[in-house]
């Protein structure tokens, strides 16, 4: 690979971190090995860790000035932590990677190569997933397929957030401030030339997943509701279909009255009431989910709150402010 061409290019590695003290040193060494010959910065976003992650990163910073750390004021969630990293990165390209070594750093040079070929987004497709429960694999698989059906945006199947994005994409994302974030959906929505490369998703090096079933459901709902109006449409369609069925029923009961067969049937009445009642409840629930999200958006709170930023040189920080002004 011709590394000379890249001499003046900076690669930003963005790592969201929630309690990953065991994983960080191993990850760091692997990233470093795979970035030999490139200018790089590794930005760790400490998303409210309660273990020693922060100290581990700070120790690393003493040895390597390319390591930077942003401490958030509390846990804001994986997707927001990534967004914070994107906001603060200075690279010509950024690579988002999980801290638990499930996304192998060995794929990084391949991503950079694709970027050099002119692609703006290089996403990593999970060819196989190792060491994850059947439940996780199954729900993930259903989720990705459901997303494909429901959303207008073409989100590639079986891809996580492990991907490279070019400066163009970084600049767009810095300006996309929506609160409900589903990063991989947003990155697909941005457009430009995108390409996938396959990899095998390893099991977690150490520690536990931060996405138990409940968080996964929330994540899936965020993904679907922020990228699709289809559930609302289904509600309208259900309304039209029930009205049609009820019209037929009305005609039928009038007919029975006219011919004198008016024996009241409680079963049909109960069924209709229950049926309508449940459809209405579901509909109100779905509308409520959207309304709740609108509510979150209109509050316009900051996406995240930073406790401290370490390792970014002052001049760089000033640069960042200027850039923000330019974009708005």
Question: Where does this chain bind ligand UDP (CB under 6 A)?
Answer: 16-18, 20, 47, 75, 77-78, 81, 98-100, 102, 209-211
The answer to whether 325 and 175 are in contact (CB under 8 A) is no
Nearby residues of 18 by Cβ (< 8 Å), 6 or more positions away = 47, 48, 49, 53, 75, 78, 81, 210
Rounded Cα distance between 228 and 222, Å, is 10
Residue 100 binding Mg ion, by CB under 5 A: yes
Rounded Cα distance between 87 and 81, Å, is 10
**Least Cβ distance, residue 101 to Mg ion (angstroms):** 8
Rounded Cα distance between 202 and 101, Å, is 7
- Choice between 189 and 219, CB closer to ligand UDP: 219
- Choice between 210 and 293, CB closer to ligand UDP: 210
The answer to whether 165 and 92 are in contact (CB under 8 A) is no
- When CB distances are held under 5 to 8 angstroms depending on the partner's kind, the choice from ligand UDP, Mg ion, none that residue 211 binds is ligand UDP
Find the binder of Mg ion among 23, 46, 83, 102 (CB under 5 A): 102
Rounded Cα distance between 44 and 84, Å, is 10
Residue 23 binding Mg ion, by CB under 5 A: no
Number of CB atoms found within 10 A of residue 286's CB: 16
Rounded Cα distance between 204 and 211, Å, is 12
- Choice between 6 and 89, CB closer to ligand UDP: 89
- When CB distances are held under 5 to 8 angstroms depending on the partner's kind, the choice from Mg ion, ligand UDP, none that residue 81 binds is ligand UDP
> Which stretch, 55-63, 92-100, 114-122, 189-197, contacts Mg ion (CB under 5 A)?
92-100
- When CB distances are held under 5 to 8 angstroms depending on the partner's kind, the choice from Mg ion, ligand UDP, none that residue 75 binds is ligand UDP
- Choice between 3 and 218, CB closer to ligand UDP: 218
> Which stretch, 43-51, 76-84, 95-103, 113-121, contacts Mg ion (CB under 5 A)?
95-103
The pair of three-digit structure tokens given for residue 71, joined into one six-digit string: 């401490």
């Amino acid at each position: 690979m011709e590394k000379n061409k890249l001499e003046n290019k900076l690669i930003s590695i963005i790592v969201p971190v929630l309690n990953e003290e065991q994983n960080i040193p191993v990850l760091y060494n692997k990233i470093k090995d795979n970035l030999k010959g490139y200018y790089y910065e590794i930005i760790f976003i400490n998303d409210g860790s309660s273990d020693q992650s922060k100290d581990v990163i700070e120790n690393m910073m003493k040895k390597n000035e390319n390591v930077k750390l942003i401490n958030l004021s509390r846990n804001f969630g994986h997707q927001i932590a990534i967004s914070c990293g994107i906001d603060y990165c200075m690279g010509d390209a950024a690579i988002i990677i999980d801290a638990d070594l499930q996304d192998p750093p060995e794929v990084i040079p391949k991503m950079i190569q694709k970027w050099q070929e002119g692609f703006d987004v290089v996403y990593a497709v999970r060819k196989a997933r190792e060491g994850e429960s059947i439940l996780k694999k199954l729900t993930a698989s259903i989720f990705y397929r459901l997303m494909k059906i429901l959303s207008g945006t073409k989100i590639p199947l079986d891809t996580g957030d492990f991907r490279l994005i070019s400066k163009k994409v970084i600049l767009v994302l810095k300006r996309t401030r929506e609160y409900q974030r589903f990063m991989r959906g947003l990155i697909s929505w941005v457009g430009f030339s995108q390409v996938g490369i396959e990899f095998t998703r390893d099991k977690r090096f150490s520690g536990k997943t931060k996405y138990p079933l409940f968080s996964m459901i929330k994540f899936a709902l965020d993904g679907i509701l922020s990228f699709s109006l289809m559930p609302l449409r289904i509600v309208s369609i259900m309304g039209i279909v029930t009205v049609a069925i009820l019209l037929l029923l009305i005609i039928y009961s009038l007919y029975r009255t006219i011919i004198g067969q008016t024996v009241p049937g409680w079963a049909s009445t109960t069924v209709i009431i229950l049926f309508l009642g449940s459809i209405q409840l579901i509909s109100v629930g779905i509308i409520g989910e959207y309304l709740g999200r609108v509510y979150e958006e209109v509050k316009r709170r900051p996406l995240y709150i930073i406790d401290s930023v370490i390792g970014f040189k002052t001049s760089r920080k000033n640069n960042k402010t200027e850039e923000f002004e330019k974009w708005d």
